Amino acid sequence: MRLHLPHAYRAFVALLTVALVAGLSLSLASPADARKRNFVTFDNLRGQIVQQEMFGLHVKNEQYGEWPTIGFGSLRLWDNDVAWSQIETSPGVYDWTNLDNAVSNARANGVTDIMYVIAATPAFYSTSTCQVPACLPTSGGAGMPRDLGAYNRFVTALVDRYKGLITSYQPWNEANLLTFFEGTPDQIAELTKRTYDIVKATDPAAKVVATSIGTRLGSQNNKFYRWKGPFLDGLKKRGWPIDAYAVHTYPHSRGTPVDRAILAEKFNRLLIQKKAPKLPIWDTENNFGLAGPGPTNPKIDITGARAANWTAVTYLDSLRLGISRVYMYPWEPPNPLWGIVYYTGTPGAQAMETLQEWIVGTRWRGCTNNKKNTKVRCNFTGPEGRLQIVYPSKGRKTFTVNRAFNQVCQLDGTCSPLTNRKVRVGGPVLLKP
């Protein structure tokens, strides 16, 4: 991490401290849940073309010129020193330097799908006196703005300036966590409605994405159901002023992709329960091994083949869960905060790049499980014809291969001829003609 950004590093350390003490995680699956064959879905992606925008990233120091060495389709600007409080330095005075740089850098590198997170109330407008590290990214940032007119003016200036350049706006990050927001679900719904009205009046093609919801924390004030349900009620009352839902499915630090999928299913169930309108679901921040919740879940390093496999399974399971985008967090050199490192030459980065080569531009035909729910086969059609990706839900499993396939490809990008009709794998492999 760059030496001129010590504040950001301290902020992330503080976030982990909050997570460690924030409470128990949401309950995991019962044995019956673990045996079920199909995920609970809200948005069905079967039959759709896989878009590169499904593969999203956060890029540390992107506003200072950093850029990944792998391809990806969408960028989320968060923790890039571009929050509201970092732009509006005094009432009505905006410093757009970092955001200008971030947008220009992305577009110069061919990524034009850019999400901006509207968050962190400037201290001079805030109802909160919270101080870093109790709130992030800036002191006072977790408060509701006292003057909603100030919020309107900032969003108006923002959308006017970046019309046609920023493609989606997300009012607040993880608003159900006190670290980021001390207000109520209905207040975030009101900010969302104001954002939607301003965006659609100025840049109708741009999307408004609901605030991201952290699913793994279960303390009294952060509980997922207690917050998300009323938030959905607030959106309904205001005519559902969003174009997509957002969720963060970080599992507990020892959690696997199976645990991550369980959290996503909780989100899907609540949308179904609330009879929410059919809109895309985006997982706007994801990784594994993040310390917490609670002291019994230390930070876990996820390396080697496991990092590659879990990255690929996260995207493949997202298709099965009806989640059309996943923004991995973050692209940066090895950092003690994150379980999987996404950076040049790492297994996670290689897997993300390889999976894009396999499936972007293909049509997803669905996935099937065996009766024991231990083997998954995902089918695609593309220019080469029928393709299939097989992977186990855990451990290593042997798959019988259809005679239509003659090659097997690994997540490191290598392919080889099939020598028999069986493959034994510990993670996703591609079978192709």
Count the domains in the chain.
2
Q: Are residues 285 and 399 in the same domain?
A: no
Q: Are residues 385 and 344 in the same domain?
A: no
Q: Are residues 382 and 243 in the same domain?
A: no
pTM: 0.91
Using alpha carbons, select from 48, 136, 39, 59 the residue that is nearest to residue 365. 48
Q: Are residues 373 and 305 in the same domain?
A: no
Within 10 angstroms of residue 61's Cβ, the number of other Cβ atoms is: 21
Task: Say if residue 133 is preceded by a cis peptide, omega within 30 of 0.
Answer: yes
Is 180 contained in some domain? yes
Burial 193-220 (b: 16+ CB within 10 A, else e): bbbbebbbeebeebbbbbbbbbbbbbbe
- Sequential DSSP letters for 310-342: HHHHHHHHHHHHTEEEEEEEEESS--TT-SS-B
Give the per-residue pLDDT at 216: 83
- The CA–CA distances, whole Å, from 37 to 180, 272, 329, 370 equal 37, 19, 29, 8
Is 234 contained in some domain? yes
CATH code: domain of residue 125: 3.20.20.80
Is 1 contained in some domain? no
Task: Say if residue 137 is preceded by a cis peptide, omega within 30 of 0.
Answer: yes
Give the per-residue pLDDT at 2: 32
Within 10 angstroms of residue 4's Cβ, the number of other Cβ atoms is: 9
Give the per-residue pLDDT at 37: 53
Q: Are residues 212 and 323 in the same domain?
A: yes
Q: Are residues 178 and 100 in the same domain?
A: yes
Q: Bridge partners of 392?
A: 375
CATH code: domain of residue 399: 2.60.40
Q: Which of 361, 380, 395 corresponds to the end of one domain?
A: 361
182: containing domain: 6-361
Q: Are residues 375 and 395 in the same domain?
A: yes
Is 321 contained in some domain? yes
Q: Along the chain (433 residues), what's the average pLDDT of each consecutive run of 10 residues? A: 35 36 33 55 96 98 98 98 98 98 98 98 97 96 98 98 98 95 97 98 98 76 78 98 97 95 95 97 97 89 98 98 98 95 98 98 97 95 96 96 97 96 97 97
Is 89 contained in some domain? yes
Distant-in-sequence contacts of 408-412, Cβ < 8 A, 24+ apart: 409/354, 409/358, 410/354, 411/308, 411/309, 411/312, 411/347, 411/350, 411/351, 411/354, 411/355, 412/308, 412/347, 412/350, 412/354
Is 296 contained in some domain? yes
Is 411 contained in some domain? yes
Q: Are residues 239 and 299 in the same domain?
A: yes
Q: Are residues 322 and 425 in the same domain?
A: no
Q: Are residues 24 and 40 in the same domain?
A: yes
Q: Which of 361, 390, 407 corresponds to the end of one domain?
A: 361
Q: Are residues 330 and 380 in the same domain?
A: no
Is 282 contained in some domain? yes
Q: Which of 301, 332, 361 corresponds to the end of one domain?
A: 361
Q: Are residues 165 and 35 in the same domain?
A: yes
